[in-house]
Amino acid sequence: MLSRRVIPCLDVDRGRVVKGVRFVEIRDAGDPVELAAFYDAEGADELVFLDITASHEERGVMLEVARHTAEEVFIPYTVGGGMRSAEDIREMLAAGSDKISLNSAAVRDPELVRRTSAIYGSQCIVVAVDAKKVAGRDRWEVFINGGRINTETDAIEWIREVERLGAGEILLTSMDRDGTNIGFDLPLTAAGTSAANIPVIASGGAGELEHFAEVVVEADADAVLAASTLHYGKLTVRDIKEHMASHGIPVRL
C-alpha cells in the first residue's frame, strides 16, 4: 500500500482562509500563506487552496497567493477556483502551483480537462467533485459554483468521465458532510474510489481521529483532506498521521 496523504484544505475568500458548514455559515480562519507555512512545518504532505467564490463572482484566480506561498512552502500545493482556460492554468503553474483543480469549468466544458491534461500532463489536473446525495436514492449529484447550482449529473459517472478525459486525481467532497465534523461520507467515497483508477482525495466531514483511518480502511481513500479541525486547533497533522499509522496505514511521519 502506498503512503496515504494528509492534506490541509484552505478555502479562500477575498484573500482570507474561511470555513463553513455545508458550504454556508462561513467564518474567518486566518491568512492563507501563514497557514500554509504552518502546515508545511507540521508535516502535511500537500496543500489545497480553493478560491470558493471565484467561479460565482467571476473573479480572477489567486495568483498572488500562489506566488507568496511558493516563497514560503516546500510541499506540493494545488490551487482551484476561477480557472476557465489553458492560459489561466499556465499562469497558475508559473506562479508556483504544482497542480490545479477544476470544478465548474470542467462541468461546463469537459474538453477543457482533455486539452489541459494533454498540454501540462495529467499529474497537474485535479478535478474537484462537489457531490450531494439525492434523498431516498443511492445517487449523488454534482453541484457547481460553490455548491449553488445542481447540475443533476451523476457524480460517480462524472468521475469516470473526467478520468477518461485525462484527469490525474479526484477531490471528492461530500456537501452533506462538509464542515459537520461527523465523519466522511463512506458510501460516497467508496463509490468514488471503486469507479476511479486514479487517486481519490476524501473531503468533507472529518472531525475525530478515527474518521481519517476509517475512510482509508473502509472506503480506500488515497488521501484525506481536513480543514476546520486543523484551522481551529482541534487536531494536528501529526495527530492524524500517528493515528493512521497505529491502524497499519502507511504515512510519512
Instruction: Kindly report, residue by residue over 93-104, the tens digit of the pLDDT.
Output: 999 999 999 999
Among residues 45, 51, 130, 178, which one is catalytic?
130
Establish if 225 belongs to a structural domain. Answer: yes
CA distance 9 to 11: 6
Establish if 228 belongs to a structural domain. Answer: yes
Question: Which segments of the chain have a pLDDT < 70?
Answer: 1, 19-29, 54-61
Establish if 30 belongs to a structural domain. Answer: yes
Return the C-alpha cell found at 96.
508556483
CB 29 within 8 A of CB 17: yes
- In this prediction, residue 26 carries a pLDDT of 53
Establish if 169 belongs to a structural domain. Answer: yes
Residue of 32, 26, 29, 30 lying closest to 179 (CA atoms): 26
Model's pTM, two decimal places? 0.92
Catalytic-residue membership of 11: yes
CB 61 within 8 A of CB 83: yes
CA distance 238 to 209: 11
CATH number at 222 reads 3.20.20.70
CA distance 138 to 91: 40
Say which residue the cell 506540493 belongs to. Answer: 76
Establish if 252 belongs to a structural domain. Answer: no
- In this prediction, residue 15 carries a pLDDT of 73
CB 244 within 8 A of CB 213: yes
CA distance 100 to 197: 19
- In this prediction, residue 225 carries a pLDDT of 97
Domain, as residue range, for 25: 5-246
Number of C-alpha atoms within 13 angstroms, CB side, residue 36? 29
- In this prediction, residue 64 carries a pLDDT of 85
Establish if 142 belongs to a structural domain. Answer: yes
Establish if 251 belongs to a structural domain. Answer: no
Instruction: Tell me how many domains the chain contains.
Output: 1
